[in-house]
Amino acid sequence: MYEIGVVHRNIQRADAEAADKLAAFGSATVHEAMGRAGLMQPIMRPIYAGAQVSGTAVTVLLQPGDNWMLHVAAEQIKDGDIVVAACTADNTDGFFGDLLATSFRARGARGLVIDGGVRDVKVLTEMGFPVWSKSVSAKGTVKSTLGSVNIPLVCAGALVQPGDAIVADDDGVVVVPAALAAKVADAAAAREANEGDKRAKLAAGVLGLDMYKMREPLEKAGLKYID
């Protein structure tokens, strides 16, 4: 059960160096490196293409149609954080716009991931403030009902603990538990190096059929070539 009406000020964030490294690998590589875990639902899309960030989670539980707690959360943001917001019930209103983005950026936020709506997309894009959301909506919100800040929550199907590492880009959003951030960063680096070797072979004309030794299992599966 969610705590309502609380703000946890002192959270244990993932190692900053490890969290920073994750951005370079991207969500797909990090997801694979972590055993295909931690991926948010594909409904979460960036408001503009090309953003690729990582950071540590400040979590926000919102009430439907109410962005009060995003203002409360701004005070808890530290440099390198990504705000991750979920709602107590499904809602697609425009919780977030350029004014809150200005406030978040002043506190050091690298972006927002919200299982809800966002608006002012044109201005946010011009600002270069990345947001991943499940909808875009001009519909505004009120400020009247308490939620919470820095509690465990589920955002787009993924469990997020305050301080977890977040990786987000054009392919999606991945949550890396804080305790695993350094291990996953190392695994992602190894995977990236391995993919670099494969990419070089493919560029030289080697077929995936041969590189991955697919011919024998394909033959056993009954694949036939007809001239």
| pLDDT tens track for 111-132 | 999 999 999 999 999 999 999 9
Residue with tokens 């070797």: 197
Q: For 133-152, how does the pLDDT look when each residue is reduced to its tens digit (9 = 90+)?
A: 999 999 999 999 999 999 99
In this prediction, residue 197 carries a pLDDT of 85
Reported confidence tier of residue 58, pLDDT bands at 50, 70, 90:
very high
CB 91 within 8 A of CB 65: yes
Reported confidence tier of residue 65, pLDDT bands at 50, 70, 90:
very high
In this prediction, residue 82 carries a pLDDT of 98
In this prediction, residue 166 carries a pLDDT of 98
Residue with tokens 């800040």: 149
Q: Is the pLDDT of residue 196 over 90?
A: no
Average pLDDT over residues 181-207: 92
- Pairing relationship of beta strands 111-118 and 165-169 according to DSSP bridges: unpaired
Q: Is the pLDDT of residue 182 over 80?
A: yes
In this prediction, residue 173 carries a pLDDT of 98
Q: For 6-38, how does the pLDDT look when each residue is reduced to its tens digit (9 = 90+)?
A: 999 999 999 999 999 999 999 999 999 999 999
What's the mean pLDDT when you consider all of the chain?
97
Q: Is the pLDDT of residue 45 over 70?
A: yes
In this prediction, residue 1 carries a pLDDT of 67
Reported confidence tier of residue 206, pLDDT bands at 50, 70, 90:
very high
Q: In angstroms, rounded to a whole number, what is the distance separating the alpha carbons of residues 44 and 134?
A: 5
Using a pLDDT cut of 90, give the percent of the chain over it.
Answer: 95
